[in-house]
Amino acid sequence: MKAEILTIGDEILIGQITNTNSVWIARQLNMAGIRVIHMASVADDKEAIITAFENAQKRADLVLITGGLGPTKDDITKKIFADYFKSPLIINAEVLNDVTRFFTKRNREISEINKKQALVPEGCTVIRNLNGTAPGMWMKKDKTIFISMPGVPYEMKAMVTDFILPKIKSENTLPHIYHKTVLTQGIGESTLSEIIEKWEDNLASKNIKLAYLPQPGIVRLRLSIYGTDEQKIKKAVEEEIQTLIPLIEKYVYGFENYGEETVTLEQTVSELLRKNNKTIALAESCTGGYISSLFTAIPGASEIFKGCIVPYTNKAKHELLKVDENLFTTVGSVSKECVEQLAQNVLKIFDSDYAIAVSGIAGPGGATAEKPVGLVWIAVAKKEKVYSAQFLFGENRQRNIVMTANAALNQLRKCILKTLH
């Protein structure tokens, strides 16, 4: 099955927003064994959209379209979509119901403009939108399926995951594909590739593809294979992973299984805490609340997360977190002594089982002769013990914050698993 992804919107062509929908859709289709052969972006312009539809129909079995479905006048996709299939737009009762409920729930009155969201081409399969007001629309022309979706990422993603892929899989025989991703923290891409070079050279003969997917502080290694025998391809990948693990064991913090969403370090750690019935508190200086925001973004966070203090000044470190004032004039706040006190004291303040404390120079300002931008101290405490370590990241502030968070989360993971020394 060959697919094309078409994104519609002036904002893409003038370079105002980065097209992240296409890459996300491409990844989902690939994992389902569907080949993406073309991606295109066109403006909110009738002729351009119709030409794009015609070209897509020539080469693809499946065309996934996003954008241009809003209630405002600049959004013209739906009208053109209906014209292309020579189907008049009619009110769909179910969609009208959904749209009405969407507004009622928010104590807002539904306007005439919003009622128009319930118009869909006659004969189309409606894809319900539980996160917004524009429905998805599934139509077939000759042998090609065209699916129009809103451009708002989370509305589109829910449609792809909950409706479109299940329907396509149930109606087509797709080749088997198997992925597994090994998650590593604390080692760079090039060092990693040197360590596993021989193992990697051996993969081609087994038809396994390896991809390095780097993020700040993290490298994900994805092994993928296509084939007809589901059990056989799965076994081939799992065997290679067993050979790989011993080479890089101390960096591995988890796996992503086929079809699963990316597992973040904060999810891994939160799950560990939950399973052990333990809680966490944080004292974040250079990360300024970022690590806490990662924990609390996860549903059910209150079961494991007790709280955080961001003491951005020395005064706050002393008054709120009882850090010995003399430290600031001797070793400074970016020091082993300071983070260890922060971790031990925030643990007591929130009466948690574990605590994380970080203090560092995120940059671009704040460096001294001895302490460059990127220098960070991280401490992890439990009731009976505190561990700390120094890290030297890079020069970019935002990247240093993310790298500090990932390093701290992995230190906590090891602490819970009793592999931190």
Residue 83 lies near a copy of itself (rule: CB under 8 A): no
Please say whether the beta carbons of 360 and 400 come within 8 A: yes
Angstrom distance (rounded) from CA 59 to CA 272 = 48
Residue with tokens 């031990």: 344
Maximum pairwise Cα distance, the chain? 79
Q: Give CA separation, 109 vs 91, 141, 212, in Å.
A: 19, 37, 49
The span of 84-92, 119-127, 188-196, 270-278 binding a copy of itself (CB under 8 A) equals 188-196
Token digits for 392?
A: 């030297």
Nearest distance from residue 71's CB to a copy of itself, in Å?
5
- Site for a copy of itself, residues 63 to 82, rule: CB under 8 A: 70-74
The span of 35-43, 264-272, 328-336, 409-417 binding a copy of itself (CB under 8 A) equals 35-43
Residue 410 lies near a copy of itself (rule: CB under 8 A): no
Angstrom distance (rounded) from CA 72 to CA 258 = 39
CB closer to a copy of itself, 131 vs 267? 131
- Site for a copy of itself, residues 285 to 314, rule: CB under 8 A: 287-293, 295-297, 299-302, 305-313
CB closer to a copy of itself, 154 vs 235? 154
- Site for a copy of itself, residues 100 to 119, rule: CB under 8 A: 106-108, 111, 113-114
Angle between helices 77-84 and 46-59 (to 10 degrees): 50
Residue 37 lies near a copy of itself (rule: CB under 8 A): yes
Token digits for 267?
A: 């999810």
Q: Which of 8, 32, 36, 376 touches a copy of itself by CB under 8 A?
A: 36
Backbone φ and ψ for 219, nearest 5 degrees, come out as: -125, 125
Residue with tokens 């996934």: 64
Residue 227 lies near a copy of itself (rule: CB under 8 A): no
CB closer to a copy of itself, 137 vs 203? 203
Residue 33 lies near a copy of itself (rule: CB under 8 A): no
**Which residues, including other chains, have CB under 8 Å from residue 71's CB and lie 6 or more apart?**
113, 114, 116, 117, 133, 134
Residue 185 lies near a copy of itself (rule: CB under 8 A): no
Residue 39 lies near a copy of itself (rule: CB under 8 A): yes
Angstrom distance (rounded) from CA 61 to CA 142 = 10
Residue 271 lies near a copy of itself (rule: CB under 8 A): no
